[in-house]
Structure 1
Amino acid sequence: MFARIQKTAGLALMTMTCATGVAAQDAPTATPEVLLTISGEVDAPEAALTFDRAALMALPVTTIETSTIWTEGTHTFTGVSLADLMDQLGVEDGTLLATAINDYTVEIPVSDAVAGGPIIAYLMDDAEMPVRDKGPLWIIYPYDSSAAFRSEVVYSRSIWQLDRIEVDR
């Protein structure tokens, strides 16, 4: 439990460091864009955690090579595994309400967040995904690794243009 709290505290500190603005005496610079907000019932001192690209990329990296029903051919997707993220947040059960930038929401059971399961992809074929190409974040399952990942239920959970997750336990 203490190790999870340390991870969560480190994650929160990293998130605050990566997503804060500049001091008044500093020269004007761009504030990092928040790509993902996580709220709800998580083991964190903040009401919501925010992640910019650097904060997401600082988490353990997982790569999946798979085809999808929305793209042609096989692609390499890189991101943070949903299992690693839920472990960092101390979430072991419940439902994730994953919402896209257009407010479309899907429910993903936390039980999907397993090793070898879905990732929150921030790269496709080593390139950032623009909004017009399902980015900047896309929940990708390893569809080619098992027939269990090739079902209408799983496809419906593969939300693109993801920008927030609410944990509901």
Structure 2
Amino acid sequence: MLLHRTFVAALRKAMQASVVLAATSSAMAPAWAQEPLPSPTGPVILSVSGTIAVTNNGDSADFDREMLYALGLGDLETTTAWTDGIQSFRGVTLQKVLERVGAEGTTVTATALNDFVTSFPFSDAQQYGVLLAAFMNGEEMPVRDRGPLWIVYPRDDFPELQQPEYNDRWAWQLRSLEIR
């Protein structure tokens, strides 16, 4: 009986600690999100504006390729509506970019180099692990072939992402994001 009470008490304590840890860890941003954002040293390939806390160019946060890659690259394999078969993408997650600039909002508006504009829910970044792809099938994407960045959803992992209305969220030749 004593062993049972000790076990139950230890279990309660562990559960309370995990609740506190979950509550505090979700509110904590990565350490680098609190640091000032340096100025780009190379050509700017992405500018983020709107409701952001960290900037390096007036009211916006500008990133060159090196700055984006320093956030950490991830991989994604998925089909697209514009290519044949499964494609391999590599880039930084939108979530990491939003965290780095301290973004808060409900909507992300993406603008491409050709002035194509699309908006999607802010929550898509975390819910779907949206990727800002810089590489496709091992090759860095040039502007003439959807680069320098392409918003890519893991459409094969979520049935709803295969619906035609989600295709409009895939902005290629991405140049800016506005958070509202």
TM-score clears 0.5: yes
TM-fit CA distance, 1:43: 1.1
Contact 1:139 1:160 in 2 (8 A): yes
SS in 2 for 1:113: helix
Counterparts of 1:65-80 in structure 2 under 5 Å?
A: 65-80=77-92
> Which residue of the other structure, out of 10, 29, 34, is the alignment partner of 1:4?
29
The one-letter code matched in structure 2 to 1:75 is Q
- 1:104-152 deviation line (CA, Å, top 9, x unaligned): 1100210101154211001111211111211110000011112121112
The answer on 1:107 being equivalent to 2:119 is: yes
Deviation at 1:88?
2.3
Residues 150, 171 of structure 2: 8 Å contact kept: yes
2:49 corresponds to: 39
Q: Secondary structure at the match of 2:76?
A: strand
Deviation at 1:90, TM superposition (A): 2.4
Partner of 2:100: 88
Distance change (3 Å), C-alpha of 1:127 and 1:92:
same
Letter in 2 for 1:161: Q
Deviates more, 1:98-107 or 1:114-123: 114-123
DSSP 3-state at the match of 2:178 = strand
- TM-score (ref. length: structure 2): 0.77
**Match of 1:159, SS?**
coil
Q: Is the 8 A contact 2:54 2:100 kept in 1?
A: no
> What code does the residue aligned with 1:7 have?
W
Find the structure with the greater CA-based Rg: 2
Q: Work out whether 1:61 is the aligned partner of 2:86.
A: no
Note if 1:133 corresponds to 2:145.
yes
> Number of matched residues?
153
Matched-pair contact (CA < 8 Å) for 2:150–2:172: yes
Fraction of identical pairs, as percent: 36
Unaligned runs of 5+ in 2: 1-23
